[in-house]
């Protein structure tokens, strides 16, 4: 999977499946799939400097964070995931603000 399009396609499909799993109460499987998407993104795509690739982390961390909210365990990991999500969202917001100026 060297083509960046294939990597993005695999991550998007993984997110769709993870969302389905989350919505059908298979939370741990959804979170595991999202972690695999993060590994794939980090290994294959983030060495590219394209901004949209970095924003793919937002929906991945969102599913993981929602999963922690559903299972209500491992508060430390939930806080860590929420913090990463908050940083990603604020970075995205700052880039939006710079683009509008």
What range does the domain containing 45 cover? 4-100
9-27: per-residue pLDDT in tens?
Answer: 999 999 999 999 999 999 9
Number of domains in the chain: 1
Q: Is 82 exposed, middle or buried (0-12, 13-18, 19+ CB in 10 A)?
A: middle
Q: What is the pLDDT of residue 97?
A: 65
Q: Which of 95, 6, 1, 97 is nearest to 54 (CA)?
A: 95
Mean pLDDT throughout 32-54? Answer: 82
% of the chain exceeding 70 in pLDDT:
85
Q: Any idea what the CATH number is for the domain that residue 71 is in?
A: 1.25.40
Which of 48, 56, 63, 55 is CA-nearest to residue 17?
Answer: 63
Going 33 to 88 to 93 to 99, the CA torsion angle's sign is: negative
Residue 1, pLDDT above cutoff 60: no
Residue 31, classed as helix, strand or coil, is helix
């Amino acid at each position: 999977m060297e083509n960046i399009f294939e990597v993005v396609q695999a991550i998007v499909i993984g997110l769709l499946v993870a969302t389905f799993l989350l919505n059908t109460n298979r939370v741990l499987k959804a979170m595991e799939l999202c972690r695999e998407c993060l590994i794939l993104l980090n290994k294959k795509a983030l060495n590219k400097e394209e901004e949209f690739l970095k924003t793919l982390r937002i929906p991945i961390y969102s599913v993981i964070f929602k999963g922690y909210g559903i299972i209500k365990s491992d508060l430390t990991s939930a806080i860590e995931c929420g913090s990463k999500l908050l940083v990603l969202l604020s970075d995205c917001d700052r880039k939006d603000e710079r683009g509008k100026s």
